Amino acid sequence: MSHLNGNGTTAPKQVSTRRVPTPGKATILATGKSFPSQIIPQEFLVEGFCRDTKCEDLAIKEKLERLCKTTTVKTRYTVMCKEILEQYPELATEGVPTIRQRLEIANPAVVEMAKEASLSCIKEWGRPAGDITHIVYVSSSEIRLPGGDLYLSSELGLRNDVGRVMLYFLGCYGGVTGLRVAKDIAENNPGSRVLLTTSETTILGFRPPNKDRPYDLVGAALFGDGAAAVIIGTDPIELVETPFMELNYAVQQFLPGTQHVIDGRLSEEGINFKLGRDLPQKIEDNIEEFCRKLMAKEGIKNFNDLFWAVHPGGPAILNRLESNLGLQSNKLECSRKALMDFGNVSSNTIFYVIEYMREELKRDDGEEWGLALAFGPGITFEGILMRSL
């Protein structure tokens, strides 16, 4: 934002970073986020969900109440609302083919949220949208050709030769994948500026509860909707751009033989998920080696010397990570706060964590190095060694 000098003229914004960005390394220059207008306090979720789906099964209600407490979520945002159910009552009816209706709602909704998050991000960045050279668009919530990347580019008024990348159906690790892809683009195209946006809605998975689909209740108690955006670039322009995080080194890894642990299938009724009970254990068994691979790039040995931006897939994953790595109790505070305030918003959530982390690292004793981590179908690990500026 510009400021006025004493003589009334506009002065450029001052860039204050404690550390100098590494030449040629990708940095995060700005962030933005957006949510649908419907907010759901967790204490009212069971009543509203059972009313909307006409569920009168007491056992299901009690189970959902228990899940709502154990998730630690306090508030979430959702595209689904009374008006949508009035227009599409079949969404709350078991066994009815509704994929067409769901996409009629989801496709424009995710682009609208992505647009709002992107505009917020571009405003913070302080440069015109026409200076964006590439866009990376991440979503597991829409299906169409052309994809949301084109619609978003048009809505934002980006130039027609903007380089577009669309990342579909990666699930919860999609945000960190997007960071890795944006990092590669920025570092291999000097002077480029990459808009990375993620947008998700639970519309595709909304359905009445069924005892044969126990994970549906976990989804109802845990997941939310929203969007996020960041702008990535190397060699920030002094007095114009304000980098706050450097993306130093990125790694993706999958665990062989674990494709069944997180299983999502698209059907005529929407998307169905199955989540293996052994997911937290699989992550716990493999996370230390994965983290040490990232840390070795800078010779870091102690986990508590780092800041931690971890996708909060759920409290069990965070608890096991904290216990297995011997992390101090405050190390995952930003992840826990994002989960509490927004729920698990799939690919978006890592950016809500990073935004909280941005404020946390402004303190004088803030760590220089940290890890961004996310886990999802595959089982896939995504990680980035980051440097706070």
Catalytic positions? 172
Nearest CA to 221 out of 50, 56, 85, 350 is that of 50
Nearest CA to 275 out of 218, 346, 353 is that of 218
Q: What is the DSSP string of 135-163?
A: EEEEESS---SS-HHHHHHHHHT--TT-E
**Is the torsion defined by CA of 134, 138, 141, 143 positive or negative?**
positive
- For the beta carbon of residue 297, count every other beta carbon within 10 angstroms: 12
**Is the torsion defined by CA of 387, 375, 222, 271 positive or negative?**
positive
Nearest CA to 248 out of 361, 389, 381, 385 is that of 385
Contacts of 106 by beta carbon, 8 Å cutoff, 6+ apart: 79, 141, 142, 201, 203, 204
Residue ranges of alpha helices (H) inside the chain are 45-52, 58-70, 82-87, 99-125, 148-156, 174-188, 215-222, 279-295, 315-325, 333-342, 349-360
